[in-house]
């Protein structure tokens, strides 16, 4: 069977895949986006806190910090220009005990090293003047933190892809990739199963392929012929489920509230976030599991949420937490291991012309999506490297 030819294929229609597809389509490339699910953004991109992060916590020099800081400004500008729902509501990072003051200072220093220079140190009285219901000994105010309508953002990105001639194909799963050796130009074959194929595979051939498959990205890297084993993260993928509980009634807060947590923790703690309607939710926690398919929220986990939240909001009423939703993050490291950085593998790293793998793209992936897209375009030769020194 001869392969259907297309210039550029992006695998995965989450917020990062759509941002990448938009960036490439706007350069004039013919772009096909393959999405295994019934529509775009149904997995990690729609099951998170919808927070625009300032870039505070990540190790200085990491891809997470180098993409988050410019990425949040790109995202704020993009949303403002297109009328996408967002709000720069700010965040308080709170030390609920004198023993956490030193760590709060360390967080401030790390933020400055990452280029986040607008954090404000607040005494207890200054923090309570902003949020009277809060319990803390000191706090950091991050005015650059905000929230965004992730669905509206993805709709806008997809609209721009389609306006530039790109196409989204849903129910279309990329099963394998094969880099064709001996070609004068990059040529990558893709085996695709679709809902209408009834078990048969469609074969595509593309000059450029971006693996932005999110939960399936690591497994797809292992099913890529021509990619050296050293460029494939270990299997199985580590699945970290984050559970969220919603608040019955209106929260007495106008800022997001994040507790101080131990350095290198896989979580930022059970934090309070707000949606654009000012409804509060709490989470995510970290629940390691063996499958990416279990999105159930165990109501019994609320007991631990009450204990965590009452450290910074003692007035949380009994019975106020309701099981909300869960999201699953594709981790490159497991329990007890230091959180891994983003992995962006382009031809300069793995030697396969035309291929970019995006692996372990979790938080701050939403905030960084436009900066990630710009970096992918650079990896594929569509401009200079925006992260080059």
Q: Global pTM?
A: 0.94
CATH architecture of 4-47+151-233+339-379: 3-Layer(bba) Sandwich (3.50)
Q: How confident is the model at residue 137 (pLDDT cuts 50, 70, 90)?
A: very high
Q: How confident is the model at residue 199 (pLDDT cuts 50, 70, 90)?
A: low
Which of 84-93, 131-140, 333-342 comes out lowest in average pLDDT?
A: 333-342
Q: Residue 22, SS3?
A: helix
Q: What is the mean pLDDT of residues 147-169?
A: 98
Measured from the Cβ of residue 20, the count of other Cβ atoms closer than 10 Å reads 32
43 token code pair = 């997995």
End-to-end CA distance of the chain: 46
Q: What is the mean pLDDT of residues 131-154?
A: 98
Q: How confident is the model at residue 198 (pLDDT cuts 50, 70, 90)?
A: low
Helix (H) / strand (E) element for 246: namely strand 238-247
Choice between 56 and 195, residue whose per-residue pLDDT is larger? 56
d(CA 267, CA 1): 48
Mean pLDDT of the chain: 93
Measured from the Cβ of residue 235, the count of other Cβ atoms closer than 10 Å reads 10
- Residue ranges of domains in the chain: 4-47+151-233+339-379, 91-143+237-331
Which of 35-39, 88-92, 121-125, 192-196 comes out lowest in average pLDDT?
A: 192-196
pLDDT given for residue 2 in this prediction: 52
pLDDT in tens, 329-349: 989 999 989 889 999 999 999
Q: Residue 209, SS3?
A: strand
pLDDT given for residue 237 in this prediction: 85
- 80 has pLDDT over 60: yes
d(CA 181, CA 171): 29
pLDDT given for residue 50 in this prediction: 97
pLDDT given for residue 318 in this prediction: 96
Q: How confident is the model at residue 389 (pLDDT cuts 50, 70, 90)?
A: very low
Choice between 38 and 197, residue whose per-residue pLDDT is larger? 38
Q: Are strands 355-359 and 51-52 parallel, antiparallel or unpaired?
A: unpaired
- 79 has pLDDT over 50: yes
**Highest-pLDDT range among 39-48, 174-183, 261-270:** 39-48
pLDDT given for residue 81 in this prediction: 98
**Is 91-143+237-331 in the same CATH topology as 4-47+151-233+339-379?**
no
Q: How confident is the model at residue 236 (pLDDT cuts 50, 70, 90)?
A: confident
Q: How confident is the model at residue 381 (pLDDT cuts 50, 70, 90)?
A: confident
pLDDT given for residue 382 in this prediction: 62
So what CATH class is 91-143+237-331?
alpha beta
Q: How confident is the model at residue 224 (pLDDT cuts 50, 70, 90)?
A: very high
pLDDT given for residue 375 in this prediction: 97
Question: What distance lies between CA 237 and its chain's CA centroid?
Answer: 16
Does residue 27 contact residue 312 with C-beta atoms inside 8 Å?
no
Does residue 192 contact residue 176 with C-beta atoms inside 8 Å?
no
Q: How confident is the model at residue 40 (pLDDT cuts 50, 70, 90)?
A: very high
Going through 4-80 in order, the beta strands assigned E by DSSP cover 4-11, 31-34, 51-52
pLDDT in tens, 256-276: 999 998 655 555 679 999 999
pLDDT given for residue 1 in this prediction: 44
Q: What is the mean pLDDT of residues 191-200?
A: 79
Q: What angle do CA 86, 362, 236 make, to 5 degrees?
A: 155
- 30 has pLDDT over 50: yes
């Amino acid at each position: 069977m001869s392969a259907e030819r297309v210039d550029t294929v992006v695998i995965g229609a989450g917020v990062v895949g759509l941002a990448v597809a938009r960036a490439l389509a706007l350069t004039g490339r013919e772009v096909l986006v393959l999405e295994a699910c019934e529509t775009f953004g149904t997995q990690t991109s729609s099951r998170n806190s919808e927070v625009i992060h300032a870039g505070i916590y990540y190790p200085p020099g990491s891809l997470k910090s180098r993409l988050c800081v410019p990425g949040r400004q790109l995202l704020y500008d993009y949303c403002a220009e297109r009328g996408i729902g967002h709000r720069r509501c700010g965040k308080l990072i709170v030390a609920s005990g004198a023993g956490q003051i030193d760590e709060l200072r360390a967080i401030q220093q790390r933020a400055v090293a990452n280029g986040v220079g607008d954090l404000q140190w607040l005494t207890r009285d200054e923090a309570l003047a902003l949020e009277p219901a809060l319990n803390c000994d000191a706090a950091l105010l991050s005015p650059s933190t905000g929230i965004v309508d992730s669905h509206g953002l993805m709709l806008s990105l997809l609209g721009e892809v389609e306006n530039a001639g790109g196409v989204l194909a849903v129910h279309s799963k990329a099963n394998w990739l094969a880099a064709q050796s001996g070609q004068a130009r990059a040529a990558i074959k893709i085996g695709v199963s679709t809902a209408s194929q009834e078990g048969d595979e469609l074969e595509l051939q593309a000059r450029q392929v971006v693996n932005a498959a999110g939960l399936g990205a690591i497994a797809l890297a292992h099913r890529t012929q021509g990619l050296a084993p050293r460029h494939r993260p270990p299997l199985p993928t580590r699945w970290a489920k984050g559970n969220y509980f919603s608040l019955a009634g209106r929260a007495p807060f106008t800022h997001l509230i994040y507790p101080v947590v131990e350095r290198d923790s896989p979580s930022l703690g059970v934090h309070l976030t707000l949606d654009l309607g000012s409804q509060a939710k709490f989470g995510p926690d970290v629940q390691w599991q063996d499958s990416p398919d279990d999105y159930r929220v165990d109501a019994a986990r609320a007991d631990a949420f009450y204990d965590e939240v009452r450290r910074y909001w003692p007035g949380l009423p009994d019975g106020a937490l309701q099981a909300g939703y869960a999201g699953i993050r594709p981790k490159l490291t497991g329990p007890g291991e230091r959180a891994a950085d983003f992995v962006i593998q382009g031809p300069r790293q793995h030697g396969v012309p035309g291929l970019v793998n995006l692996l372990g793209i979790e938080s701050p992936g939403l905030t960084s999506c436009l900066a990630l897209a710009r970096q992918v375009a650079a990896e594929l030769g569509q401009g200079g490297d925006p992260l080059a020194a």
